Amino acid sequence: MTYCLGMLVEDGLVMLADTRTNAGVDNISTYRKLRIVANPPDRLVAIASAGSLSTTQAAMQRLEGGVLNPETGELDTFLTVPSIFAAALAAGRAIRMSRDALSGLQQENVNFDATLLIGGAVGDEPPRLFLVYAAGNVIECGPDTPYLQIGETKYGKPILDRALRHSCPIPEAIKIALISFDSTMRSNLAVGPPLDLLVIRNGQRGGESVRRITDDDEYFRDLARRWSEALAHARAEIPDPTY
């Protein structure tokens, strides 16, 4: 299991992902799930992945060589697509093709589904964020619900619904994202550090790399402690029920 989060606010895009992978409680390892896949001067494209690593890796290999666009007859790669929407569609085709190619290996308790978050900007467009489903279809993140999640989503969702707004400044969005991950990691051992953080600000087309947050990161540890204390204080301040 994994957890990946993308948040689209007025000032740009924030993406955060854990790195824990497991094939059972005795087979846990680390794998980068958030990465920049295209960063020439005119574009910045980032991907976060959840689900089958074999499907994800096969899809990325297909995209490096190009995936046929049925509308144009051309091969699409992250370096040639004209928009983030086109990048998400190309990734959807690659995911579907890779999953179908592995279907002959399907066995009980083996799942080849994979989902992606694709964010960034191409040319003059503002940062955009899409979720790519295992079937290859996509949805776009919008201001009304300014986040998308994949993987282990339920434990980190409440803070997003209560606190995240499209108007949040990027530092506030990062804080909310880290609280979302702290809540998830406390409830699910299959999600864990290091965490990878990417910020894409409006007008940015390169230069800002992924930041790795380890379990001994001073700010993250302080945030987790303060959040626990704040929750305990808030609970204590609520009057006891009368029944």
The pLDDT, as a whole number, for residue 110 is 66
Neighbours of 85 (CB within 10 A): 16
Q: What is the structure's pLDDT at 20?
A: 86
Q: Encoding tokens for residue 33? A: 């799930």
In angstroms, the CA 85 to CA 62 distance is 18
pLDDT of 72 reads 92
The confidence score (pLDDT) of residue 26 equals 53
User: Minimal CA–CA distance to 20: which of 111, 151, 113?
Assistant: 151
Return the closest-CA partner of residue 119 out of 197, 67, 189, 31. Answer: 197
Is the pLDDT at 81 greater than 80? The verdict is yes
pLDDT at residue 105, rounded to an integer: 64
Domain boundaries, the chain: 3-235
Amino acid 112: pLDDT: 83
* Per-residue pLDDT at 5 exceeds 90: yes
Q: For residues 129 and 99, which has the higher predicted lDDT (pLDDT)?
A: 129
Q: Compute CA distances 220 → 155, 178, 191, 203, 213, whole Å.
A: 18, 7, 15, 28, 8
- What percent of the chain shows pLDDT beyond 70? 91
Q: In terms of CATH, what superfamily is 3-235? A: Aminohydrolase, N-terminal nucleophile (Ntn) domain (3.60.20.10)
- Bigger pLDDT: 133 vs 21: 133
Name the DSSP class of 40: S
Report in angstroms the alpha-carbon separations of 197 from 95, 211, 229.
Answer: 24, 5, 25
Nearest to 198 by CA among 60, 21, 35: 35
Q: Beta 43-51 vs 12-17: how paired, if at all?
A: unpaired
pTM of the entire predicted model = 0.92
CB atoms within 10 A of CB 202: 13
21-57 pLDDT, tens digit each: 765 555 567 788 999 999 888 899 999 999 888 899 9
Structure tokens at 165: 């707004």
- Other beta carbons within 10 Å of 124: 8
* Token pair for 115: 């989902």
Could you report the per-residue pLDDT of 107-131, keeping only the tens digit for each?
A: 566 678 899 999 999 999 999 999 9
- CA dist., res. 183 & res. 39, Å (int): 32
Give mean pLDDT, residues 203-228.
86
Residue 79 has pLDDT above 80, yes or no: yes
Which one of 33-37, 175-179, 191-195 scores highest in mean pLDDT?
Answer: 175-179
Average pLDDT over the chain, rounded to whole? 91
> What digits encode the pLDDT tens for the residues 154-165?
999 999 999 999
Do 5 and 156 touch, CB atoms closer than 8 A? yes
209, pLDDT greater than 70: no
Q: Sign of torsion, CA 74 80 81 87?
A: positive
CA–CA separation, 197 and 149 (whole Å)? 14
pLDDT of 111: 73
The Cα–Cα gap between 6 and 10 comes to: 13
